[in-house]
Amino acid sequence: MHAQCYVCQELFGDSDVVMAPQCGHTFHKTCITQWLRTKKSCPTCRQTTSNKKLGRIFFDIAFSVEVNSADLQQKLDEMSRELNTKVQLKQKADEELRKCQ
């Protein structure tokens, strides 16, 4: 799961305090409280809200993402081969087009 604060665009970390107004959109506590000092609506949907209407959100899942570097490398290699094939096809098509002109 990749959840992020709309205000600062950062992903939530395990130790972040996450708050939500009644509309349910989620923000870092510091971001939403600072936002609500000057504006009286949700940054995402613009529904009217206030600091008094914020509730703390607790996620029951870990935000850390395990990345298998071998899988990523394999995907990168496949995409690189696919790109090279497309570049070669374009070059051949360009040559054929020049011959026809």
- pLDDT tens for 14-61 read 889 999 999 999 999 999 999 999 999 999 999 999 999 999 999 876
Q: pTM of the predicted model, to two decimals?
A: 0.58
Query: What does the block give as tokens for 40?
Result: 């009286």
- pLDDT tens for 50-89 read 999 999 999 876 655 667 788 888 999 999 999 999 999 9
Percentages of the chain per state (helix, strand, coil), in multiples of 5: 45, 10, 45
CB-neighbour burial class of residue 57 (10 A; exposed 0-12, middle 13-18, buried 19+): middle
